[in-house]
Amino acid sequence: MVDSIRTRWKTQKLFYRRLIFNLIIGLLCAVLLHSFDELPLLQQAEDDAIDWVMAMQLGTHPVQAVVPFALLDIDEAVYRNWGEPLLIPRDKLLDIIRFAVSGNPALIVVDVDLSRLGQCHDHDLALVDFLKEYHGQGKPPIILPQLFREPVEGESKRTLREPFFVRDLPSGSDTRVFLASPLFEVDENDFRLRRWRLWEIASNQEVIPSVELLTVALLRKPHDPSSAFQNVKQNIKRLDQAEAAPKPQHLINSTKIKIANMKFDKGAEGIGQRILYSIPWTLQPGEIYPDNFVRRSVLPITKKETSGNEQNPADQYSAQCTPSSKATAMAHLDSSWLKDQVVVIGASFKESRDIYATPIGQMPGAMVIVNAINSLYEHGPIKKPELYWIIPIEIVLIAIMSVAFAWFDSFLAMLISSITVIMIMLPLSFYLFKYGVWLNFVIPLFIVDLYEIYTSFEEYRARARAS
């Protein structure tokens, strides 16, 4: 039987033998590459591909519902105008928050570290008093940052670094002030910020949702923010407990939760953690921001009158602790343009140390938050097509590659195969990417490379035998 098959195989034309062998090799390569797609080399190649597609699609119109954003930026000019304080003055910050609230936005995110007391006790108390009284129907939710201490030896999780006012926050069904994590993942290879952390479980088992996850949940349940907040925390807690509990092997990857109509599986790891950046920080000549984004410095809001004379540094310091008033200095300014916006208050001045490298360039942390909220709201966690879509496409590509490498020399076959992959996969990838679906064209290109290596080796052996 074996001899009969071997004899029949040898009687076949060389082209058909090479074609069948190439098909088998191609299918094996596809199976292996999909099985080991978490290898660092493949992950880095996939990240680079997503970065490239993201950069190519900057400036295109979104195809799904988006959030309107307004960024109130504490920039370099504002920082110098304030006398370059060590910490952002709490009275100035409170003034900006009041201005934002007066515009009746959908929600306010404050990306300013409030885990430490400011430079003026009276201003700290004024901020606390404002937050104490900030509750009740009709008021836009305010999200404040919950920061953490990194684990030290003997600790496995981060510990909370609670804001100084945390015990004064109102609680109950009419709560409108919430704490959320502003943490993201920085890539160890090139230190670019590509991935979100959708929640944190602190060392005391406290569940802290991320700013972007909580924002999306509140936007999708605007009439009951307190309930939405508790629902997010309860679902995360349920997933954390389910992951820790022992379970049969066939159920290990089946734990899922649903938050704000989005499904999350085991922390939305891997590809599901990617932020799809669509709003750049620095514009190139001729570029404009998307229609759903407005960026303005807070300098026109907080600009002080000067006589033209330089102030004494001691006078500047004493001025930092002037009495606060509930009557905002910006009451006369128009805030109507903030209506129904997601207002993000953040700092972009260099000494804030809040500037990060991203796949589309450097941007301050507040801008990363804008992009993360926009990505999560528009697409949810990025998804891959189902296997019943991927397999037929890859079988067609492998068939074309097999014919090319059976008929032509390795270089020409590689050129034809690469062009075919690019012509088929790239348009599909670009189209699906607009809907938050990633069709990975890296694996077919790796298969082309493996084909080329194998056929080059066979050609070398043939030449060696001939000589």
pLDDT tens-digit series, residues 57-108: 887 788 777 899 999 999 999 999 999 998 999 999 999 999 999 999 999 9
Supply the range of the domain harboring residue 431: 12-56+385-466
> Does 372 share its domain with 389?
no
In a domain, 309, yes or no: no
Q: What is the pLDDT of residue 174?
A: 79
In a domain, 287, yes or no: yes
> Does 50 share its domain with 77?
no
Find the range with the poorest average confidence among 275-284, 312-321, 400-409: 312-321
Q: What is the pLDDT of residue 264?
A: 74
In a domain, 399, yes or no: yes
Mean of pLDDT values over 378-398: 83
> Does 373 share its domain with 434?
no
pLDDT range class, residue 3, cuts 50, 70, 90: low
> Does 103 share its domain with 222?
yes
Q: What is the pLDDT of residue 2?
A: 52
Domain boundary among 329, 356, 379: 379
> Does 276 share its domain with 353?
yes
> Does 318 share its domain with 234?
yes
> Does 369 share its domain with 424?
no
Q: How far is residue 187 from each of residues 23, 159, 196, 292, 404, measured CA to CA in Å?
A: 37, 22, 11, 28, 38
> Does 32 share its domain with 166?
no
> Does 267 share its domain with 340?
yes
pLDDT tens digits along 308-345: 444 444 344 444 566 555 555 565 678 889 999 999 99
pLDDT tens digits along 119-164: 888 999 999 999 988 988 889 999 999 999 888 877 778 888 888 7
Mean of pLDDT values over 299-304: 64
> Does 249 share its domain with 398?
no
C-alpha to C-alpha distance for 77 and 216, rounded to whole angstroms: 32
In a domain, 327, yes or no: yes
Q: What is the pLDDT of residue 310?
A: 43
Q: What is the pLDDT of residue 164?
A: 78
Q: How many residues does the chain have?
A: 467
Would you say 378 and 436 are in contact if contact means Cβ atoms under 8 Å apart? yes
> Does 327 share its domain with 396?
no
How many structural domains compose the chain? 2
Mean of pLDDT values over 200-215: 90
Q: What is the pLDDT of residue 265?
A: 64
In a domain, 122, yes or no: yes
In a domain, 63, yes or no: no
Domain boundary among 354, 379, 404: 379
Domain boundary among 334, 362, 379: 379
In a domain, 414, yes or no: yes
> Does 352 share its domain with 437?
no
